Amino acid sequence: MTQLLDIKGLDIALPANSQRPLAVSGMDLQLSTNEIVCVVGESGSGKSLTARAIMGLLPAPHVRVASGEILFNGEDLVKVSDDRLRALRGSEISMIFQEPMTALNPVMTIGVQIDEVFRFHQKMPSKERRARALQLLHDVQLPDPEQALKAYPHELSGGQRQRAMIAMALALDPKILIADEPTTALDVTTQAQVLKLIKEMQETHGTGVLFITHDFGVVADIADRVCVMQNGLVVETGTRDQVLRHPEHPYTKALIGAVPDLMPRPARPRSDETVLKVNALEKTYRSGGGLFGGKGREVHAADDVTFDLARGETLGIVGESGSGKSTVARCIVRLNDAEAGEILLDGVDLRPLGRAAMRPHRSKIQMVFQDPFASLNPRTRVGKIIAQGPIMYGATQQDAKARTLELLDIVGLDARAYDRYPHEFSGGQRQRIGIARALALEPDILVADEPVSALDVSIQAQILTLLDDIRERMNLSMVFITHDLRVAAQVCDRLAVMQRGKVIEVGPTAQVFADPQAEYTRQLLAAVPGKDWFSKPDAPKVVAAAG
């Protein structure tokens, strides 16, 4: 192993009036051939900016390297000319990004975009370029390389796009591959495949990989060495085993402690009282077609979905994107209209009710949304956001205000939040506001649609605890939508696994984890990153038995 990259005392300066003067300060990091170094940290830790600094892709002139060296084979990348940097980028050092949809140009074919890498670095006849591009797409295991060459990004799935990105990055056999959260936007089974691919490619080419991630599961699966960052500082570096097994810095300990266990929570007695019963729910999305016919596309988002929810229990609906889990949630709350089936709440079928008839039932079933940034009106004060519901249902201003203050307290926010606007709060705090808003109408059922997937792992743990606590205190029943089996294991009493609009398995969480019946459930469980690392040592290895 020879050293490829040596970062010494790197400082990255932020614009004058930012929260802190340096995004990254005094960073040291080494990367050698044929190793994978994971840089882990929560949002705002400076991990992505470090990656960009190596590529010379910082958003200049606002953000720039203030001091320090980035030595690539002895050449300081901070000081080299723009032309030299451009020559290195894509040939010696290349990069893949988080969101493969936006990272590819939507109006150019994959073939053209791969071809650019060859064209701008080497003189090569176009026939040879094409042959090499084809070979690359073949190497990253795209199903039909010929077709993929001619395809536009939107014609590929998320996983396929990321494979194409990897092909592009590896086109000229670079010495360093920088991967900036390359699997965060992917489904768990796809993520497992892409991680495997990156590892394989790294091994065959002897590439040094700098892998940026927030997910300790991913770290456990692929890292050789780990570098933990907090607020721009490297707090701990070491081999994977050192850092994961024997973390020294309290922050590392806290982060690893916050990774949800893949051990299902202990089973609780189930109440006999059923509060919600969903029977043979159907929802189809149609697109295309029109006045003069023409076959549009049909997607069966909910296909014969049946489940019930007992008082006080949390039912998890798990599945990958496109499985229909969010559609089901939205149909239950009547944000979307299902075409057939029953939604029985206290014996009343909500599905066919009109707007007015639905109103008295609305307060009983409330929703917490995924994106705490988009789901709160940026022009309305927090107090009003929460109090609006009760006022609409006839509460007086004073009562609504008292209730709101009480709720703010319950979700762990200061009473001063009442007169603030949502943008003044962090993601986790906003999600607390969202929860308080949902609770304001004193619902019987809370439907939470991926309530923690936009949050950092340490915040996730807090919100999950809060939700559990509230469910306990208010005797709520909860439908909890998630794609993350770790999260599901933490909060759900029972699980319904969905795939392509169908519920393929329902059962108590522990049972589903220990003895999955459906093949797809087994795949999902096997794909959870780092599954063998973060189980309590004294607990039986349920997952190992399943895989």
Partner 1 sequence: MSLTARRARYVVKRLLQSIPIVIAIVVLNFFLLQLAEGDAVDVLAGEAGSATPEYMAELRAKFGLDQPLSIQLAVYLKNVMFLDLGYSFRHEMPVSELIADRVLPTVLLMVSTITIAVGFGVFLGLVAAMGLNTWRDTAISIFALITYATPLFWVGLMLIVVFSLNLGWFPTSGMENFAMFYEGWDRVWDIAHHLVLPTITLSLFYLALYTRLMRASMLEQAGQDYVTTARAKGVTENRIMFVHVLRNALLPVVTMAGVQVGALIGGSVIVESVFAWPGLGMLAFEALFSRDLNLLLGIFLLSALLVVAVNLVVDIVYSTLDPRIEVN
Q: Which of 153, 242, 261 is nearest to 486 (CA)?
A: 261
Q: Quick check: 303 binds partner 1 (CB under 8 A)?
A: no
Contact (CB, 8 A) for 385 and 433: yes
Q: Which of 36, 95, 417, 461 binds partner 1 (CB under 8 A)?
A: 95
Of 114-122, 141-149, 427-435, 512-520, which part binds partner 1 (CB under 8 A)?
114-122
Q: In 10 A of CB 530, how many CB atoms?
A: 20
Of 116-124, 139-147, 380-388, 414-422, which part binds partner 1 (CB under 8 A)?
116-124
**In the bound complex, what is the minimum distance in angstroms from residue 90's beta carbon to partner 1?**
3
Q: Quick check: 288 binds partner 1 (CB under 8 A)?
A: yes
As a whole number of angstroms, the distance between CA 138 and CA 132 comes to 10
**In the bound complex, what is the minimum distance in angstroms from residue 87's beta carbon to partner 1?**
6
Q: Name the residue nearer to partner 1 (CB basis): 14 or 489.
A: 14
Q: Quick check: 84 binds partner 1 (CB under 8 A)?
A: no
Q: Name the residue nearer to partner 1 (CB basis): 97 or 480.
A: 97
Q: In 10 A of CB 110, how many CB atoms?
A: 29
DSSP type of residue 265: P
Q: Quick check: 88 binds partner 1 (CB under 8 A)?
A: yes
Q: In 10 A of CB 542, how many CB atoms?
A: 18
Q: 164 to 223, contacts with partner 1 by CB under 8 A?
A: 165, 168
Q: Quick check: 154 binds partner 1 (CB under 8 A)?
A: yes
Q: Quick check: 86 binds partner 1 (CB under 8 A)?
A: yes
Of 8-16, 30-38, 87-95, 130-138, which part binds partner 1 (CB under 8 A)?
87-95
Q: Quick check: 497 binds partner 1 (CB under 8 A)?
A: no
Q: Name the residue nearer to partner 1 (CB basis): 160 or 314.
A: 160
Q: Which of 106, 378, 394, 537 binds partner 1 (CB under 8 A)?
A: 106
Residues in contact with 256: Cβ distance below 8 Å, sequence separation at least 6, in sequence order: 216, 244, 247, 534
Q: Which of 8, 121, 130, 500 binds partner 1 (CB under 8 A)?
A: 121
**In the bound complex, what is the minimum distance in angstroms from residue 221's beta carbon to partner 1?**
25
As a whole number of angstroms, the distance between CA 335 and CA 435 comes to 18
Contacts with partner 1 by CB under 8 A: the residue count is 32
Q: Name the residue nearer to partner 1 (CB basis): 153 or 443.
A: 153
As a whole number of angstroms, the distance between CA 118 and CA 125 comes to 10
As a whole number of angstroms, the distance between CA 448 and CA 437 comes to 12
Tokens 């086109």 belong to residue: 171
As a whole number of angstroms, the distance between CA 348 and CA 444 comes to 14
Residues in contact with 34: Cβ distance below 8 Å, sequence separation at least 6, in sequence order: 1, 202, 203, 206, 207, 208
**In the bound complex, what is the minimum distance in angstroms from residue 277's beta carbon to partner 1?**
41
As a whole number of angstroms, the distance between CA 328 and CA 306 comes to 10
**In the bound complex, what is the minimum distance in angstroms from residue 8's beta carbon to partner 1?**
23
Q: Which of 37, 68, 89, 149 binds partner 1 (CB under 8 A)?
A: 89
The distance from CA 301 to its chain's CA centroid, rounded to whole angstroms, is 21
Q: Name the residue nearer to partner 1 (CB basis): 15 or 352.
A: 15
Q: Quick check: 269 binds partner 1 (CB under 8 A)?
A: no
As a whole number of angstroms, the distance between CA 224 and CA 198 comes to 13
Q: Quick check: 43 binds partner 1 (CB under 8 A)?
A: no
Q: Quick check: 116 binds partner 1 (CB under 8 A)?
A: yes
Q: Which of 2, 43, 105, 204 binds partner 1 (CB under 8 A)?
A: 105
**In the bound complex, what is the minimum distance in angstroms from residue 95's beta carbon to partner 1?**
4
**In the bound complex, what is the minimum distance in angstroms from residue 298's beta carbon to partner 1?**
15
**In the bound complex, what is the minimum distance in angstroms from residue 156's beta carbon to partner 1?**
12
At residue 10, φ and ψ (nearest 5 deg) are -75, 125
Fill in the amino acid letter for 442: E
Q: In 10 A of CB 75, how many CB atoms?
A: 12
Q: Quick check: 91 binds partner 1 (CB under 8 A)?
A: yes
As a whole number of angstroms, the distance between CA 518 and CA 496 comes to 11
Q: Which of 12, 37, 38, 43 is nearest to 27 (CA)?
A: 12
Fill in the amino acid letter for 248: E
Q: Name the residue nearer to partner 1 (CB basis): 4 or 58.
A: 58
State whether residue 540 is helix, strand or coil: coil
Q: Quick check: 294 binds partner 1 (CB under 8 A)?
A: yes
Q: Residue 250 half-sphere exposure, CB side, CA atoms within 13 Å?
A: 0
Reading the block at residue 246, the tokens are 């024997």
Q: Which of 163, 170, 178, 153 is nearest to 101 (CA)?
A: 153
Q: Quick check: 482 binds partner 1 (CB under 8 A)?
A: no
Of 69-77, 94-102, 215-223, 526-534, which part binds partner 1 (CB under 8 A)?
94-102
Of 130-138, 151-159, 194-202, 420-428, which part binds partner 1 (CB under 8 A)?
151-159
Torsion of CA 79, 85, 87, 90, to 10 degrees: 140
Q: Name the residue nearer to partner 1 (CB basis): 51 or 528.
A: 51
Residues that bind partner 1 (CB under 8 A): 55, 57, 86-91, 94-95, 97, 99, 102-108, 116-117, 120-121, 152, 154-155, 165, 168, 288, 291-292, 294
